[in-house]
């Protein structure tokens, strides 16, 4: 085992977004923020895209920070949005690439449909949303939120999510995505390590019966993100118990989105032991030692 795996520098933060999806910083700015926060390891985990990896590696060179390459894969189950963190995947795996391209296209259609609904009641055009997103990025509600802010309808992203963009706000539409089980299988096929992201949100806790969890673990689900601000205490207890029974890797992360969310780097962290287990399991790519 290489020394960096045996003795990674702390703190270790394994979930962060750049403008490649719905963060507000470029991959290079995200890495600079990680260095400024004193991180030993930072994972870049944009939604359904690995386009930020290479610029993140380039920015990390010579800084001493380690970049764990990852992605946050969107999946859907019974109307619930379930996110899977996919570490150390092969970014060129054809099956996973085809699926993420499909998801990004579905996200685009869904965002357009939401804008059409919103435009009935608020001055908002699809071009307003496009103006808020980097070309080719994974489009999500945060970009609609930015357009609503720009138009002066809401104060910030959080206000938009609490009102117009809320799933019960009257304008919400889900987007098509594979089932979590398919997601786990694809990530494993791409040499990656699947970790269930923030399971304590509205979705996963409701849809994951004990039987479904076992099926996911049998398919290769390797870990669960228990340290996350969206996980309520009761669901942390539940998933800690699940992790213990199945011997899962346990992670903690910030889910940093730059200025797009109040989450700050290293507000939750992962232990070196759990990080080492991810690095040992992943075969599709390697951490970049900056």
What residues make contact with ligand AMP under the rule CB under 6 A?
22, 140-142, 157-158, 161, 257, 260-261
Residue with tokens 């002066």: 152
Q: Hey, which residues between 190 and 229 contact Fe ion (CB under 5 A)? A: 197
Residue (183 or 290) nearer to Fe ion, CB: 183
Rounded to whole angstroms, the Cα distance separating 183 from 201 reads 18
Which structure tokens are listed for 256? 């940093």
Rounded to whole angstroms, the Cα distance separating 197 from 177 reads 16
Strand pairing of 223-227 and 249-252? parallel
**Interacting partner of 261 out of Fe ion, Zn ion, ligand AMP, none (Cβ under 5 to 8 A depending on kind):** ligand AMP
Q: Total residues contacting Fe ion (rule CB under 5 A)?
A: 3
**Interacting partner of 25 out of Fe ion, ligand AMP, Zn ion, none (Cβ under 5 to 8 A depending on kind):** none
Residues 6 or more apart whose Cβ sits within 8 Å of residue 68: 14, 41, 42, 43, 44, 87, 88, 275, 278, 279, 287
Q: How far is CA 260 from the centre of its chain?
A: 14
Tell whether residue 277 is a contact of Fe ion (CB under 5 A). no
Residue (140 or 284) nearer to ligand AMP, CB: 140
Q: Report angle CA 107, 109, 110 to the nearest 5 degrees.
A: 65
Q: Hey, which residues between 104 and 163 contact Fe ion (CB under 5 A)? A: none
The least CB distance from residue 110 to ligand AMP, in Å, is: 8
Sign (positive/negative) of CA torsion 140, 259, 81, 75?
positive
Q: Which of 13, 22, 146, 267 binds Fe ion (CB under 5 A)?
A: 22
| Region from 49-57, 68-76, 163-171, 175-183 binding Zn ion, contact rule CB under 5 A | 68-76
Contact code string over 57-86 relative to Fe ion, x by CB under 5 A: --------------------------x---
The least CB distance from residue 198 to Zn ion, in Å, is: 7
Q: Which of 13, 146, 255, 267 binds Zn ion (CB under 5 A)?
A: 255
Rounded to whole angstroms, the Cα distance separating 87 from 190 reads 10
Chain contacts with Zn ion (rule: CB under 5 A): 72, 255
């Amino acid at each position: 085992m290489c020394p960096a795996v045996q003795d990674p520098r702390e703190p270790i933060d394994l979930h962060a977004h750049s403008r490649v999806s719905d963060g507000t910083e470029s991959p290079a700015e995200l890495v600079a923020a990680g260095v400024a926060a004193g991180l030993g390891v930072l994972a870049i985990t944009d939604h359904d895209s690995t386009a930020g990896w290479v610029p993140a590696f380039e920015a990390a060179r010579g800084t001493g920070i380690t970049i764990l390459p990852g992605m946050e894969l969107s999946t859907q189950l019974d109307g619930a949005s379930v996110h899977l963190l996919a570490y150390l995947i092969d970014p060129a795996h054809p099956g996973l690439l085809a699926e993420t391209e499909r998801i990004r296209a579905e996200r685009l259609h869904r965002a357009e449909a939401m804008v059409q609904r919103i435009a009935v009641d608020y001055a908002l055009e699809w071009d307003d949303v496009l103006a808020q997103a980097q070309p080719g990025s994974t489009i999500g509600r945060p970009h609609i939120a930015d357009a609503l802010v720009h138009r002066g309808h809401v104060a910030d992203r959080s206000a938009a999510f609490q009102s117009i963009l809320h799933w019960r706000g009257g304008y919400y539409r889900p987007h098509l995505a594979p089932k979590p089980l398919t997601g786990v299988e694809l990530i494993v096929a791409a040499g990656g390590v699947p970790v269930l992201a923030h399971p304590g949100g509205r979705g996963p806790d409701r849809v994951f019966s004990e039987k479904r969890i076992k099926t996911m673990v049998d398919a290769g689900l390797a870990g669960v993100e228990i340290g996350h601000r969206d996980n309520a205490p009761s669901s942390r207890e539940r998933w800690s118990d699940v992790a213990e029974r199945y011997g899962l890797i346990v992670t903690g992360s910030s889910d940093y989105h730059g200025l797009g969310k109040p989450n700050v780097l290293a507000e939750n962290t992962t232990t070196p032991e759990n990080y080492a287990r991810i690095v040992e399991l992943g075969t599709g790519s390697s951490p970049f030692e900056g």
